[in-house]
Structure 1
């Protein structure tokens, strides 16, 4: 089943093994050290050094930029989709759900933004996708504001402790995607 596992940093090894992931996208602060799970192929792991902020100009913090989102899109399009993609950030609540939405639309662009975002909310009542990543991704993927509107419509997720990984299906049960 094609999908994306979204996880907090503290559970990436468990999620990689449980779901059979071999590719991973990490969105962490620059210089944040962590151990890549052994089941993840080093050549299929991308780390993007960004902070979880939604605006630029905050001193030493790095706001997501167009180049970062372009890396997410490029990485997703190279994902072979034979196994789930693992996407994580520190808590699995903001950066990684946003990247998961962008990746899902990069590989299956004909899907409905609103339906995809509703699947995200069903999979995680806690997800609050980073608005800057969503806005940049909407533009980069020519969604014409549909992704931004869909994310706004689900609102902020419930309070969380950052220990709630989830699985985002690329397409609804009744749809099939052939890469």
Structure 2
């Protein structure tokens, strides 16, 4: 079963090692510094500089753009799925869950958007996928509004309760497979 591990920045190294990840997508603010874990292949690390905003923005803020989401899709389609894909942002709540949904649909496009969003909610109570990233991904993946509607239906996640990495199965699995902390192997 392929899966995507979603983590906040402080847990990236731990989750990369624990889950034996070799590939990673980083969605961080411009000029935000962090160290790529040594287990991540530098050639398979996608670094995207964007802020966690859901509007076009002005000034110093960089809103998610079509090019950012196109890069997530292309990277996901190049993922060999032999090991989990690690996706992170600062808190693991907004940008990275949105990118995880898009990556899952990029590699398994025949799945149901609502079921995917429900799997996300089952593994993360606090995930609130970035609406702009979701909308751009919906359009680029030709989901015809289904992904946007599915994310709207699961609603805003619970208030932030600290670093809570999770593991999102790419394709449907039995409900009992979602039990546990979700971030382990």
Asked if Structure 1 and Structure 2 have the same fold, meaning a TM-score greater than 0.5 normalized by the shorter chain, the answer is yes
Instruction: Name the count of aligned residue pairs.
Output: 174
Following TM superposition, the consecutive aligned residue runs of length 4 or more in structure 1 with deviations greater than 4 angstroms are: none
Aligned pairs for 1:1-179 (under 5 A) are 1-173=1-173
Change in CA separation of 1:162 and 1:92 when aligned onto 2, cut-off 3 Å: farther
Alignment match, 1:177: none
Normalising by structure 2, we get a TM-score of 0.92
**How far apart are residue 79 of structure 1 and its match?**
0.4
Match of 2:27, SS state, is: strand
Cα-to-partner distance string for 1:43-76 (whole Å, 9 max, x where unaligned): 0000000000000133110000001100000000
Cα-to-partner distance string for 1:64-119 (whole Å, 9 max, x where unaligned): 00011000000000000000000000000000000000000000000000000000
**How far apart are residue 172 of structure 1 and its match?**
1.4
Match of 1:172, SS state, is: coil
Match of 1:60, SS state, is: coil
How many Å separate the matches in 1 of 2:157 and 2:30? 26
Structure 2 segments unaligned to the other structure (5+ residues): 175-185
Match of 1:46, SS state, is: strand
8 Å contact kept, 1:5–1:15: yes
How many Å separate the matches in 1 of 2:57 and 2:6? 28
